Structures are given as structure tokens and as C-alpha cells.
Chains A and B, each alone.
Chain A
Amino acid sequence: MMRCRITYLKTEPLRYTGNLDIQKIWERYLRRAGLPVAYSQGFHPQPRIQQACPLPLGFLSQAELADIYLDDDTLRPDDITRSLQAMPYPGIELAAVEQVDLTESTLAGRVTATEYQAEFIDPVDAEQLSSKVSDLLKAQHLMRTRRDKDYDLRPLIEALVVLPADSTHNATLRMQLSARQGATGRPEEVISALGYPPFDARYTRTRIYFTP
């Protein structure tokens, strides 16, 4: 058995496909590519595909990671890349394939933070946006309620900057949010906290941070 780590982009065709379904899509992608995915033991064997960090529905991503286990020790990352690229799957763009040690701990257990870009779908007032952002960053606490639970959003925001509008993009917020167990920040909560409707922005994950 070998374990390989795939870095990929999640693009428009799979934007509204949730995490459980992405798991299935990887299973099918590997089958189509003729790669022998390994199965778990037990009464209900499951393909061994481990995603690093769930991506909320409706988000795009430039930095998804998944570890897949293959029942073939002879395959090299280049072979895997070639096989996958020969049978492209709409909504998945391969960025990197690397082999990792079988004993390495799971990605999911090592996530510390995630980085997102939230681009406004329609133009917004740049000055107003900047002042809202600096006000928010000055606050000590940002008490919010999500799914009937009160929590403080402020400590979950590790970084927040405005990328001004240019010829191809509207104003965009780049933010780094905590993604530790029980302390996960959501970018649409940040947009709401700034006083914008959360659905006014298009969200893209740009990076996942891990402990070494």
C-alpha cells in the first residue's frame, strides 16, 4: 500500500457539492483513472480517502488536500498524476501529487488555520469597506450567534486585509481564520460582522495551514 497526497483546486462545477459527495467523487475519479484505491477493513469496507478539511457548500478552493491510499507500491507520483490527468473530472484541477509516509498522522488532525478570499459579487464602497475592517480589527470581542450558540468571532480572526478592486475583480477580503478543534472561524461570519449580507460575496479557500 502507498499513500499519496493530492493538492487540488475545487472549481465551479463542484462548487455546490458537499463534503460527503466529494468523497464519492474522489472514489469515482480514482476508479475511472484505473488507480487501485485501498479499502478499509471490516464489514463495510470504505475506500481510504481522507480529506484535510471540509469546505463549506458554495465555496471554491485553490488549495484542497486529500490523502489517498493505493493498493500498489510500485506507483510513483508522476504515474498517478498522468492517470488522473488522462481522465479529468469536472470541478477538480490537480495542483500537486506527492507520496507521503504511511505512518504520518492524518491531515485532518493537524489543521490549524485556513485562509479565504471573499470577493464581493457587486462593487462596494472602498472607503466604507476599509473603515469597517479597521473598526472590526480594533474590537476586543465580536459576540455572535451561530446555530443557536453564542461565541466570540474576534479571536478566530488571525488576519484580515482588503485587496482593492482592480480591472478584473471587485474588492476582496483576504482573511486567515482559526481552524482548530472547537475554534473554527467562518468567512461568511466575518462578512456579516462587517455589516454585509453574507451572500454578497464569493468565497474561495486559498490555503490550509497545518502543524508540522
Chain B
Amino acid sequence: MSFDYDLLQKQLERIMPTVQKPGRYVGGELNQISKPWDRVETRVALAFPDIYDLGLPNLGLAILYQTLNARQDVLAERVYSPWTDMELAMRNSSIPLYALESHRPLADFDILALTLPYETLYTNALNLLDLAGIPLYAAQRSVKHPLVIAGGHACFNPEPMSAFIDAFAIGEGEEMIHDIVNVFQAWKRSGQPRAALLKALAQVPGVYVPALYEPDCHPDGTLRELRTLDPAVPKKIIKRIVAKLPPPPTNFIVPSIDVVHNRVAVEIMRGCTRGCRFCHAGFINRPVRERPVEEILQAVQTALKHTGYEEVALLSLSSSDYTQIVDLVDQVSKHASENHLTISLPSLRIETFSIDLMDKLKGSRQTGFTLAPEAATDRMRATINKPIAAEHLLETARAIYSRGWSTIKLYFMIGHPFETLEDVRAIADLCKAVIAEGRKIIGKRAVLHAGVSTFVPKPHTPFQWAPCDTQEQIQAKQDLLRSELRGPGLKMTWTSPKDTMLEAWLSRGDRRMAQVIYNAWLNGAKFDAWQDQYRYEIWQAAFEQAGVDPAFYTHRMRAEDEIFPWDHISPGVRKAFLLSEYRASQMQTYRDDCRDSCFACGVLPTFAEMRRENPGKHWMCPEVPIRKKKPVLEPVAL
């Protein structure tokens, strides 16, 4: 396809002054990697289907960008969704969606890789394909179109998007992306039809090619079986992991405009051993693997040098659990105070130890202290497996207020399985108790911000069987909180029940959902993750047009033996283990932190070979002895 760079520049030059934040659409930032188009064999476009401001800081894409561009034979460029004003301007001028480095149209690339970290990006993904002039349905694409692949957390249930994606990359992408590129290159050299590419990709561990599978459903819409259409494809797609976290990226692209996170981000640990039953990330990111302190410090130093950033975030699902957190924080904070740096350490546990950590990092810009109790009664805490004594929380809050913070932010969720209005009322009571402590200590300066979101049951978690609250139930709980959670210093934010419904429909959707998503997009749905853009009526109409009942996905109590649309995707954790956890939640039985003793969730046997070859403390699962063929794991009585 011929490409007239100068013509496009001229068109853009006229458009840019008419749109908000035109800096989103030009590229050319510090540390961008631009390679000559004709000097590589394979060109990959990495797409985040929301605006630049959110997509640029995405760590997953930064990792893929670095690792792909490290190859001589590959170039990787970035693309984000244009905001509505830019989309309109581009459509009016017939400008196809382009990548930021070369400004080449997306359709010119060999591979288009979408990240789908959450479900509310689905319509944007379709819109992105449409703006690129690429057929939305995988079945309508041919050799002249890019291969469209997707990865990210939401892809652990790929079925709702299965009609639009050629291949899903399940799990960690650092190594898998190279396997995919290699298979692509071999196919391209062979000159075979596109079907051969899909077949070859299905042989790559962790890759799911939906076109090679076909669901067989019961009359009630539940799944009887997902049939394989080719004898060579795996029945189960086991997610990919890396045995050891590779050195983190340090050459971050520094945006020339303000984005949501302007900082160096270093992942200190992957996974979490706590086993909170609501937590999707906690179950799909097992096993826990840590990075050595020296490697993190080295990465921070190098990244600061490359970027000039003034903020560093040390990321993990549970910072307090990083084995050498004190050592790490000591060393990072020493460097920070000498260099006017802000360090952020999210996901701290509720204990005074967390305040000690934050004290060390206290820069000039720290104003609030965030904790996530999630629930306010012992009954609910046992249900979700997040044990925190109320007195413990109050003690921590007292310490926070007395040690210089005036604002505490507490995250709660309503809508946990088996929750009653009394459990909800307890959230208000607990918040009132916290602010009362704050006022005792620092008077009227004390602020408590309660962020109350609504729980959505997720695939591959113990609550995948549980119904989601109805809008009426959610409304009643929120009304209760709004009337109870009043008083000086108290603030509350919540999620609209309608937003929750969309997330709930899509999270546990099946292949029929593809038609619903398509209808919604056709009727104008996009930026569904944006409260001011999301339109509930469009989705209702989309369900109606598709003849699909939304309640099937949300409010139905699933039978224990139901075959789920995502059962063929394995995060390594066994379904039987999830079920035992679900039963334990009904009996309000706690499960301890699994770094203390293994509960045989299934991850270790799944990756036993890898663990055997990678002994050591960086991996939290028990070591696998060298001679034994399979580890013997005692089932745990509940």
C-alpha cells in the first residue's frame, strides 16, 4: 500500500488545532523507538484501546515494546484510541488510524496486538479496528489484513471477543510474543493461506485460536462442551508464565503531555499469596515471583537516568508482602530524598508496619493514605478471605492520623456473595469510627474518603459460581450508605449500578456476547469505561437485538457442575480448588496465606518442571525435588 507521509502531515496539521490535547496524536516523545519501515521483516502495532493518557503508562505494553524492538528483524509501534473529537476529525478527512512512530496506517502492519486488561474496552477495540479499516470479524479477514491478537487480564475469558480476535495470548507475554512473531514469520515465508497461520499459532503454548473451537450448548444456553475443530489443537490452553521475571524495562517513553501516571514503574513482584476470593488478579497471576532488590534498585537508577522522571512507583499486588520490603524501601527512600523524588508504594496491608514504610517514603507530595479493608464485618471478611480485625484497622487509622496524614482513603466493596444490609451498614459504622478517631487526634482536618465499589464475580475465582447483585439490590445498599455515611470529614464515592452491570455481563460472557458487543458498537457504544460516555440503553438494545438475556450472565446462580465458557482456559489453578474455596466462603472459613503452607491450588503441578529448573526463594511455591516425577500434594480438608 502506498503511503504519503507528507500528505498526512499536512492533513493533521489542520486538524490538530481543532482537537483537545493534540499531543496525544503526534508521537515523537523522548525514548520512542523509530525504525526504518523497510529494514525489518515483521511490523507489530501495539494497541491500547483507550486514549493515550491511559495507555501510555501501561506497563505491559512498555515491556512488549522494548522486547520486540530489541529484535533486529521486528519493529513495534504504538497506537491508542483517538478521543471522540479526533475520531470525528479523522473520519471526516478519511484518515485511517495510524501508529505514532511512523504514522503508517494500522492496516499496513503485519500484526496488530491489542491489550485488553478490562472488559469495558471491548467496544473500543472494535472501534479501533474499524478506524483502521480492518474487518471487525476475524472470519472476514484475509492474508492482506494484519493478524489481530489480544492479551491481558480480560482475555482469561476470551469468549465474548472470540469472534473478533484471530488469536489470544493467555498469560504472561514476555516470551510468548516472540513465539507468535516467529510462527508468523515462518508462515509468511511459506506463502501458505491464512488458515495455516491460525493452525500453527494454535500449537504455541498459551495461544488460543477461537476459530478452531466450537461451543455445543444445552437448550438453556449453558455449555455442554467446547469442541475442537482440529485434532491438533489443545483441549485446554494453559497460560504462559515466565520462570523468572526478566529485568524490567527502563527505557520508558516519556510523554510530552500530562498523562495519568508520569513515572518510572518497576514491578517488584508478580502474583499474590493472600487468596482473597474476589480477586481476579490474585488467582490468574500465580505463582508469586519476586525480583531481587538489587535488580529493582538498578532498574530504578537506570530508568531515572533515561527519563528524568521525578516519580517512581514500585508495583505489585501486595507491596507489604515483598520479602525484603524494608530493605528495598530504605534504599529507595535514601535515593529519593537526595533527588527530590516521589516514591509511590501502592497496595499496603492494614497494619502499623505499612505506616513505617510510608513514613520512610514521605515526600512533599504525599497527602493521603490508602487502605483496602473491602468489608466491614467478620462474617464478610471470612467470606472473601480478607481477615482484618476492626480494632486493628482503628489502631492503624489512629497511627496514620497522628503521624502526619490528614486524609485516609478506604476502599470497600458492596455486593459480596451472601452479603446482607447489616454487612453494608457496618461499612458506614466503621467509617464513622475511623473519622471519630481522626477528629480526636487532628480535629477538623481529619478526612475519610470511602471508595465503595460494587463487586463483580470474575472467571477463574471462587466466586465464578455466584450471582451478581441486581441493580435494585445495589441501589438499596448504596442508598443505605448514602444516608448513613454522613458527617463532617466523611466523603463517599461509589460506582453506578449500571456501570457494574456492563462489567458483570461481559466478565462471564460466552460466545453469544460477541453479537451483543457488535450491536452495541454499531449503535454507537464506545469508551464504556468512561462514566460520561457509557450509555446503558445502547447495551439494553444490543441484548434485545441479539435475542440474548442479560440476566443469564449476571443474576443466575450457577450449578457447581456447570461447564463455564472459560473452562478451556487454564490459569494453572484447578477448578476443583476454586470450588472448595467457594464452599469455604459459604462456611466463612479462612484460608491462610499460601506462602506459609501450600494448599495445592494447582499452579505448582502445572508448572512443576519450570519450578524444578528454577529452585530458590524468588518463587513462593514450594520447591520441587529434582528426582521426583510429580510432587505429591496432600489435599487440604476444609
Complex Cα distance, B223 from A185, in Å, reads: 69
In the bound assembly, the distance between CA atoms of A30 and B305 in angstroms comes to 11
B256 within 8 A of A: yes
| CB-defined contacts of B28 to chain A, threshold 8 Å | 12-13, 90-91
**In the complex, A45→B28 CA distance in Å?**
30
With an 8 Å Cβ cutoff, the count of chain A residues facing the other chain is 33
A58 to B15, CA, bound (A): 11
B29: interface (CB < 8 Å): yes
* Stretch with Cβ within 8 A of A (4 or more), from B16-24, B40-48, B73-81, B348-356: B16-24
Q: Which residue of A lies closest to B24 (CB)?
A: A16
Interface size for B (C-beta < 8 A) is 31
CA distance A39 to B363 in the complex (A): 14
- A44 is contacted by which of B16, B310, B364 (Cβ under 8 Å)? B364
Q: Do A202 and B13 contact each other (CB < 8 Å), given the known contacts A32-B307, A32-B308?
A: yes
Contacts of A122 in B (CB 8 A): 10
What residues of A have a CB within 8 angstroms of the CB of B23 in the complex?
16-18, 21
Docked CA distance A12–B254 (Å): 16
Highest count of chain B CB atoms <10 Å: which of A20, A24, A122: A24
Contact of A57 among B22, B258, B364 (CB under 8 A): B22
- What 1/0 mask marks residues of chain A from 122 to 147 whose CB sits below 8 Å from any chain B CB? 10000000000000000000000000
User: Does B304 reach chain A (CB closer than 8 Å)?
Assistant: yes
Q: Could you say which residues of chain A place their CB within 8 Å of the CB of B17?
A: 57-58, 198-199
Residues of A within 8 A of B364 (CB): 43-45
Chain B contacts of A32 at CB under 8 A?
305-308
Could you tell me if B13 and A16 are in contact, using CB atoms closer than 8 angstroms? no
Contact with B along A37-78 (1 / 0, CB 8 A): 001000111010000000001100000000000000000000
Complex CA–CA separation, A17 to B21 (angstroms) = 8
A28 interface residue (CB < 8 Å to B): yes
Contact residues in A for B304 (Cβ distance below 8 Å): 31
In the complex, whether A189 has a CB less than 8 A from a CB of chain B is no
A162 proximal to B (CB < 8 A): no
Q: Does B365 contact A (CB under 8 A)?
A: yes
Contact A28 B258, beta carbon cutoff 8 Å? no
Residues of chain A with a CB closer than 8 A to B442's CB: none
Contacts of B590 in A (CB 8 A): none
Q: Which residues of A contact B14 (CB under 8 A)?
A: 121, 199-200
A29 at the interface (CB under 8 A from B): yes
The answer to whether B22 and A39 have CB atoms under 8 Å apart is no
List the 9 closest pairs (A to B, CB-CB), nearest first.
A28-B308, A13-B28, A31-B308, A32-B308, A16-B23, A16-B22, A17-B256, A199-B17, A58-B17
Residues of B bordering A, CB below 8 Å: 10, 13-14, 16-18, 21-23, 25-26, 28-30, 32, 254, 256-258, 262, 304-310, 339-340, 364-365
Could you jot down 12 A-B contacts, CB within 8 Å? Answer: A17-B256, A21-B23, A24-B258, A24-B262, A28-B309, A28-B310, A31-B310, A32-B305, A44-B364, A45-B340, A89-B30, A198-B17
